[in-house]
Structure 1
Amino acid sequence: MQGIIGKKIGMTSIYSADGRSVACTVLEVGPCAVTQVKTVETDGYSAVQLGFGEKKAKNTTKALIGHFQKANATPKRKLVEFRDWDGEINLGDAVTAEVFEEGEFIDVVGTSKGKGFQGVVKRHNFGGVGQATHGQHNRGRAPGAIGACSYPARVFKGLRMAGRTGGERVKMQNLQVLKVVAEKNLVVVNGSVPGAKNSIVILEK
């Protein structure tokens, strides 16, 4: 499985061949340095570790500095492993946006925006109690009853209620690559990608 690390630039829209306006997300990907190549013989499984984003040496542990020096790379902010890499790759190589082709479908992993403590309407798309008649007072966004009856006389685990929302790892699958601008390390994908602007994302194919 090939992939690359990048960051979310923002959203825009482009016109398709038939004149439709298509919402898309612009991602700045790579160049990523190959910081480690794992094999079945030495590590028990095959994987490629990529590093993305520059980091000050004074904020990096000496162990990691030595790890990066083996690959002749500067300290990186984000490290990600990709299992069972397709094709030959060596320590110290640079992986760029050219690993993707226009028209293919990829998966994008990001961390969704944190929204703090939210009610059931925002968190689970509840409709609320709904009606304002028959003596309803400030119940529009309330969850309603949460229990059953004298049997089972308890609330089941996993009941959808208010709570902390967002800030979770989210994978968007089968996003089409609309455009690859290799000289600027940009990839434009169809649709939305989780996370805020300038947040780290992982692209997999």
Structure 2
Amino acid sequence: MTVGLLGNKIGMTQIFDETGNIIPVTIIKVGPCIITQVKTISKNGYNAIQVGYGKTSNTTLTQSELGHLRKSNIQPLKYLKEFRLNENIENFEVGQVLNVESFSAGQLVNIQGKSIGKGFSGLQKRHNFTRGPMTHGSKNHRLPGSIGMGTTPGRVLPGKKMAGQLGNKTITVRKLKVIQTNIDENILVLKGSVPGKPGNLLSILPIE
């Protein structure tokens, strides 16, 4: 039985397969994660596992977070995340350590994380808008132009594509193949790219 884990992106590189083909891969440091809470249908209305990752000091957590962890006699952890499960969760218990052993080569996983933030961007870069003409006296090159109708409805409709923050959104990359695992170093090697810069926090979600 597998459950989602947390980890940090180390970076990208490339490896060669048996036939000499180059495979672009991302290296992820996974866990070890500690189960901090087990939720059941009878008690909470659904089955879920809450895992903690990343040791930290008491000063970085709130009293509520510290109390939650002390209740289970677990050291302070920087990140907590809940993963829902459909099957029986009798095999999990509070304090259990989860690591990269739960993954195997050839398995498919979904990776979730925040994309790289690129600050404030205009319409052409953010939404692929076409620019205005550059010649014949045009004064509108990269401006948005008209953004709404006239008398009716007399307002800008919600959801209008405009300039704004680009990136820094939660993105899920689906069905990435596990190339290899390193149990000693808790390293997971995946084919392809994942969101964010090196060091970015990632959720590794196994596909049943």
User: Shorter-chain TM-score: which interval?
Assistant: 0.7 to 0.9
Local SS of the residue matching 2:70 = helix
Letter in 1 for 2:79: K
User: Where does structure 2 lack aligned partners over 5 or more consecutive residues?
Assistant: none
| Bigger mean CA deviation after superposition, 33-42 or 70-79 | 70-79
Deviation at 1:127, TM superposition (A): 3.8
| Aligned match for 2:92, one of 71, 77, 89 | 89
Relative distance call for 1:133 and 1:19 in structure 2 (3 A) is farther
Cα distance change of structure 1 residues 43 and 11 upon mapping to structure 2, 3 Å threshold: same
Q: Is there any run of 5+ residues in structure 1 with no aligned partner, and where?
A: none
Match of 2:60 in 1: 59
Tell me what 2:70 maps to: 69
Q: SS at 2:184's partner residue?
A: helix
Look up the match of 2:44: 43
8 A contact 1:115–1:164 mirrored in 2:
yes
Identity value in percent: 38
Paired amino acid for 1:104: Q
Deviations 1:56-111 (A, max 9, x none): 02333344334323444211000011111656111111100111111111111101
The residue that corresponds to 2:137 in the other structure is 135
Q: What are the superposed Cα offsets for residues 38-67 of structure 1, whole Å, 9 maximum, x if unpaired?
A: 111222211111000011023333443343
Structure 1 residue aligned with 2:116: 113
Pairwise CA RMSD: 2.3
CA, structure 1 residues 61+121, in 2 after alignment: closer, same or farther (shift >3 Å)? same
CA 154–181 in structure 1, closer or farther in 2 if over 3 Å, else same: same
Q: Which runs of 4 or more aligned residues in structure 1 lie more than 4 Å from their structure 2 counterparts after TM superposition? A: 147-155
> Mean Cα displacement is larger for which, 150-159 or 28-37?
150-159
Q: Which deviates more from structure 2 when the two are superposed, residues 91-100 or residues 20-29? A: 20-29
